[in-house]
Amino acid sequence: MTNQTRVASVQELESVFQQELATDRWAAAETAYALAVRHRDADDWEKSREWVKQTLQLLEGFPAETEEQVATQRTSVGGVDLPNYLHEGVVRSRFGDLG
């Protein structure tokens, strides 16, 4: 999946996530966030909750004191727009009780 703006299937995103988890944990956090959004938008609340938790777990390993530290590296993943900044507060505000 080289085109980050194309709408990818959930299976494609999960495959990308697994690759990123081994090589780029920040990218994996962005992809986990995208998967949480995709499942939420499909009304699959349980899967969305799982991906929210995965996103939050990954974000725990990164500093979050400055905007530069929490700025997303991509504008979208698999057709899901990412927020400009990705940190626990953003995830919890976007997903509410799912977080």
- pLDDT greater than 70 at residue 1: no
How far is residue 99's CA from residue 24's CA, in Å, rounded to a whole number?
23
Is position 2 within any domain? no
> pLDDT tens-digit profile of 49-85?
999 999 999 999 899 999 999 999 999 999 999 999 9
Residue indicated by tokens 């507060």: 89
- The predicted structure's pLDDT at residue 2: 46
Is position 37 within any domain? yes
The percent of residues above 90 in pLDDT, for the chain, comes to 88
Number of other residues whose CB lies within 10 A of the CB of residue 45:
13
Confidence of residue 99 (pLDDT cuts 50, 70, 90): low
Number of domains in the chain: 1
> How much is the mean pLDDT over the chain?
92
Compute the CA torsion angle 39, 43, 47, 53 (nearest 10 deg): 80
Is position 99 within any domain? no
Host domain of residue 44: 10-94
pTM of the model: 0.91
Taking residues 18-39, report their average pLDDT.
Answer: 97
Confidence of residue 5 (pLDDT cuts 50, 70, 90): low
- pLDDT greater than 90 at residue 86: yes
Is position 3 within any domain? no
